[in-house]
Each structure stands twice: as C-alpha cells, then as structure tokens.
Amino acid sequence: MKKEYIDLLKKKCGEDNFRKIEALNNEKMHDFVAKYIELCNPEKVFVRTDSPEDYEYVRKMAVEQQEEKKLATEGHTIHFDGYYDQARDKSNTKYLLRPDEVLGSDINSEDREKGLMEVHGILKDSMAGKEMIIGFFCLGPTDSEFSISAVQITDSFYVAHSEGILYRSGYEQFRKLGDSGRFFRFVHTAGVLENGVSRDVYKRRVYIDLEEEMVFSTNTQYAGNTVGLKKLSMRLAIKRASEEGWLTEHMFLMGVYNSDKSRKTYFTGSFPSACGKTATAMLEGEKIVGDDIAYLRQIEGKIKAVNVEKGIFGIIRDVSRDSDPAIFESLTKPGEVIFSNVLKDLEDNPRWLNDGRPEPVEGVNFSGEWIPGKKGPDDKDVPYAHKNARYTIKIADLENCDENLENPEGVEVGGIIYGGRDSDTNMPVEQSFNWQHGILTQAATIESETTAATLGKEGVRTFNLMANLDFLSIPIGRYIQNNLDITDGVENPPLIFHVNYFLRGKDGDFLNGIKDKHVWVKWMEKRVNGEVDALKTPCGYIPLYEDLKQLFKEVLDKEYSKDDYEEQFTLRIPERLAKKERILKIYHTKVFDTPHAFIKELEDQRKRLEECRAEHGDYVSPFVFSGGKH
C-alpha cells in the first residue's frame, strides 16, 4: 500500500477495518478506496468481509439508521424510497464516452470528462457525518470461469444489505486476484436524507464509465439505481463479454422436469420487465437457478450458463397465493426479506397490489400515512402500494432452489425463451427454425408495452431486443452478431422459443390463463428432448393440438378445446407484416451496424408470409399446417 494512503485510511477506517483493506494486496483497489474516502469525506468507514459478523452488522445498521423498519414476521423489514425515486432513472443513466466513441442513437451518453467533473462535484463531502460501507462481492459463482470480482462503496446500509442478499460475498475471492486490475467498481451516495429518503433527486445521476469499468450513482436510493452489481454491472459485463467472446444476458435460468421428473432440462429466458419473467422462473414444481441476469459461455462445445446473482429483487405486484404460490409462500413465512414501497398496515404486515387479500383501509407507505383517496405532492391518487414495489430475498431460501445455483461449472442450456407484452400479433409459444432464425426474427424483434418499472408513460409498445436494450454498452449490431457467433462450433445449439402471455381475442379478453405458461414451458421441454412433433408455419414451429390437450390435462388438470387452440395459434399475417415494417424502420433509422443477415432473414420471412396469405387469407388456422409435422 502506498505510504500516502496509510494515515488517511487508518484515520477513517480504524485499526480493524484498515487491516481488512491492507490484507488485500491490490494497488488499484487501494487507489480506488483512498480516492473516494478522501473525496466523499465520511465520518468513518466499515469494510465488509465474508464473515457472518460483518453481514449482521450491515443488517443491524439498516434498521438502526431507519433505512429499514421491522415488520411483524421475523426477519422481514420494509424500506421506502422517495415519492419521486421509485424506478430506474433512464434519462439520467448515461455512459461516459470519449468524443470518438459511438454506441448508437438510442444509447444515452455524456462526454466523459464533463460527466466525471460533474459527478465528482456531487460526491465531494457527500458522506460527511455518515458511515461509508465498502463491500466486496463476486458476480457469478466464486472460483469459476464465470466469476467477476466487484467492489461497492455506498453510504446506504439498505443498499449494502440488499447486496448481501443478492450477491455472493467476494472478499476472499478478491484476495485471490492479487494485484490484478480486472474488477468492477461502484460508488453510490444517497445524498442528503430528508425524512429518511434522498432529498435532492433532481441531482440524481447514474454514470457508467466503461473505460474504467466503474459506475457512479448519486442522490437516489431505489435499488435499480443504486445496487451497482445489478443492471449497472450488467452494462459493464456486456462490454467485457463482447471483448472476450461470451454473453451477458437479461435472462432467468431454470430447470424444467419431464412428466415423471426423471429428467431436468435447463432453460434461460429473456423478458422485458413485468412480462412474466419471474413468474416463469418460479413455476410451481420446477427449479430456479436465477430470475434476472445470466452469463453464457461456450465451454467444451456446449452453451453453459450461471446466475450472476444469488437473490431476487422482484416486482411484487400481482403476486398472490393463486398466481405465484412459490413466491407468495416465501414472502409470508419467517425469513430474511426486504419489502420496498409496499404498505405497512396497522398490524405491521406488508401489503401489495393484487396480493389476493382484502384491500387495506390505512397504513404507512412511500407517501407517508396513507388512507384511500390520498393525493400525492403531484396531486395524483396514491395507491396503497407502488406499482413497482419490490421484494428482495435469497434464492437459497426458496424451496424450489436448484442444487446447481453455486455450481462453478454452470449448467448446460437446452432452450432459450424470449417474450414480451403483445396483444395482437404473436402466438402463446413458437419455436424458431434454427439458432440464426431465432436470434434474428424472435430475439432481435421483441416489442413490449412499457410498465411501471421505468419512469415515464405506461402502455406504449416499445422495441426491446433481447429485453436488453436499456442495458447495452456496445452497438446493437455487434451485440446481435455476438449472439449469433456464440454457437459457432456447437453441434446442438439450444433451441430458441418465443412466448406471449398477453395475446387478446376479438372481445379484448386475454386468451391465456395465468397458469397456462406452465403448459407452454412443458411443451418446450419436450421439444428440446425430441418427444413431440410440431407444425411448420412461415414464422416457426408451433405445437400440435393433441400434445397441448394432453399437457393441459397433465399439468393443470384442465380441458383444452380445439376452439381455444385455433384462436390462440391462428397466424395473424397482417399484424406480423406490420410488426416487420415497424422493426425494419427502427433498424434502418437508428442502428448503424445492422448485420446483413438480419435484413435477409426478415425479408425471407416476409416472402413466406405473403405466399401463405395468397393461398389461405389474412388469418390462418393452425389446422391448415397439420400436414407439415417436424
């Protein structure tokens, strides 16, 4: 350690915490820690190692500092973010780029030198009178080819506690780095707190420095803006993966059993927020490895994946005993859970929207004391819980946790599922013809209605390739090409599927039941293992009615009619062609490096659709394709 750091670190850290820093022989880390201790000027510094004692200190302080409050059930706490700090701040989340760097017109950026000057100005003395927490974590399982070390600096014990639930402790992993400079760094301050929440949200900044693999976050508490190892580190990892030939994806990872549970097949799945991603990953009777972010690598001719995290920061709205029994059970029994922006009722129980129970009549929420009809500072009605309210839990505490959660070798991926929110175009489930067709016509063309998970207007259909557009740190064309390239040399790539749980009929009602997704997933498991045929349409393979009828009975004990099948799996050619035109316009106007194969694949699909329409009309029954089994 450089001599000039020793006095500063000893003064701020105290002897015990100084020794924790000194024990890690990494000059870059020492430079980082000393620089931001000096700049942020905390009253004292706590260094979190992998010890249970350090973890418990963070938990205890989150309550003592009143960033979290205890609830009636043992281990449960509640955290409130500010009224205007309830989602990822897309407009103020920017990449810090040199003048010669270009990522694409849809990617928010700021001049690197200007941005660093601004955020360092905000950080100066931002922790005066506070305690700084320095945490060491590992993205992906430890001691693995997938492992990435990370260091987070924050002045929020809520943020530090959340990270302890969501990520693997990485102090000992960091020790093994020696003097390597390859690790992610994060600096966060909640800023001045007023009534326990960030006061100066107008100075909310989330700046990503790709050159230094570093993220700054200021004047915010919402975990999507502050927990550096989540979507913020994902942006850093996408760039690193692109350089090294692997993938960082916005994907769950789950194990799906066959009917007698003698076989388990692993699937990844990429869905935009509030499109059924976590509900799919948590299907009753199946196994979950992860619900949000996965690293994928080609290893020994196979596609292997790991969960980057070890916990879940999930949207709680609509979680009920009927809709999501596994999640609901975990949220209502004793154990470590952080609830955020739900209602604390008069009995100190958490209540969230559509939880299957009678609506509460009063309590405390993110707006303060709450009763029905309350107006917020923006003069809008305040719901008893926020639409983007969340829960934070450890996956290992779930009964359906997969035994391979911590497997350093990862699991072999049998299938990949892409989904979105679509009322009028895509079928409930569809398989691509091959890897390239799936990446280009399904993954790279996802559209979805906006939700409460991001700031801005809801209900607008937006383009979101691979459900990853918000997090891309490389040009879109390169990202697509990386997805195409990862299976080079793989004899049997994972099958690619697209699902749509939100298709509506002519009367406007949903055509899918809430639990029907389990049938689609079971059908995909059978396809991966070659147990069922499919019908070939111009856009991909779809299930046979007889197979779905059997699965509905086996999985849901539900009758499935030919009429339901026909309405759900009718090929809607006008809507398919309209979507193609919308997508092509986006790529022609906003993507400067679109792969030629993408344009050709969409054009080939258009021709197949036009030929089908000429023969069968605009809306084609699935029974028309019954002669083409594959």
The pLDDT averaged over each successive group of 10 residues in the chain (630 residues) is 84 95 94 96 97 98 96 98 93 91 77 96 97 98 96 97 97 91 95 93 95 96 93 96 97 97 97 85 94 96 98 91 86 97 97 95 96 95 96 94 97 96 93 98 89 57 90 93 97 97 91 93 98 97 98 97 97 96 92 92 97 97 83
Report the distance separating Cα 81 and Cα 217, nearest Å.
15
Q: Which residues are tagged catalytic?
A: 275
d(CA 115, CA 215): 12
> What ranges do the domains of the chain cover?
3-65+86-244, 249-310+405-625, 313-397
User: Position 407: which residue type?
Assistant: N
Query: What backbone torsions phi and psi does residue 541 show, to the nearest 5 degrees?
Result: -100, 140
The domains spanning 3-65+86-244 and 313-397 adopt the same CATH topology: no
Helix, strand, or coil (residue 110): strand
What are the start-end ranges of the E strands in 170-301? 184-189, 193-194, 197-198, 205-209, 214-218, 247-249, 252-257, 264-270, 287-290, 294-299
What contacts 577, CB < 8 A, 6 or more positions away? Answer: 606, 609, 610
CATH 3.90.1150.10 holds for 3-65+86-244? no
**Residue 583 dihedral angles phi and psi, to the nearest 5°:** -70, -45
Sign of CA dihedral 67, 71, 75, 77: negative
Q: What is the pLDDT of residue 9?
A: 92
As beta bridge partners, residue 457 has none
- How much is the pLDDT for 452? 54
Helix, strand, coil percentages in the chain from 3-state DSSP, rounded to 5 = 35, 25, 40
Q: What is the reported pLDDT for 486?
A: 98
- How many other β-carbons are positioned within 10 Å of the β-carbon of residue 166? 24
- Altogether, the residues listed in the chain come to a count of 630
The CA–CA distances, whole Å, from 156 to 29, 35, 209, 373 equal 20, 19, 22, 32
Whether residue 327 contacts residue 319, with contact meaning beta carbons closer than 8 Å, is answered with yes
Q: What is the CATH class of 249-310+405-625? A: alpha beta
Number of other CB atoms surrounding residue 574 within 10 Å: 13
Rounded to the nearest 10 degrees, the angle between the axes of helix 517-528 and helix 545-556 is 120
Which amino acid appears at position 19 of this protein?
R
pLDDT number for residue 3: 80
Q: 226: which 2 tokens? A: 């502050």
Question: Residue 196: what pLDDT?
Answer: 87
Other CB atoms closer than 10 Å to residue 31's CB: what's the count?
Answer: 14
pLDDT at 470: 86
**354, 337, 322, 455: which is closest to 390 by C-alpha?**
337
Which residue shows structure tokens 């292997």?
A: 304
What is the pTM (predicted TM-score) of this model? Answer: 0.94
CA angle in degrees (0–180, nearest 5) for 515-519-523:
160
CA angle centred on 221, ends 160 and 5, rounded to 5°:
50
Q: Exposed, middle or buried by CB within 10 Å (0-12, 13-18, 19+), for 435?
A: buried
- Structure tokens of 567? 């309405």
CATH architecture group of domain 313-397: Beta Complex (2.170)
First vs last C-alpha separation in the chain: 64
Q: Which of 630, 219, 255 is nearest to 415 (CA)?
A: 255
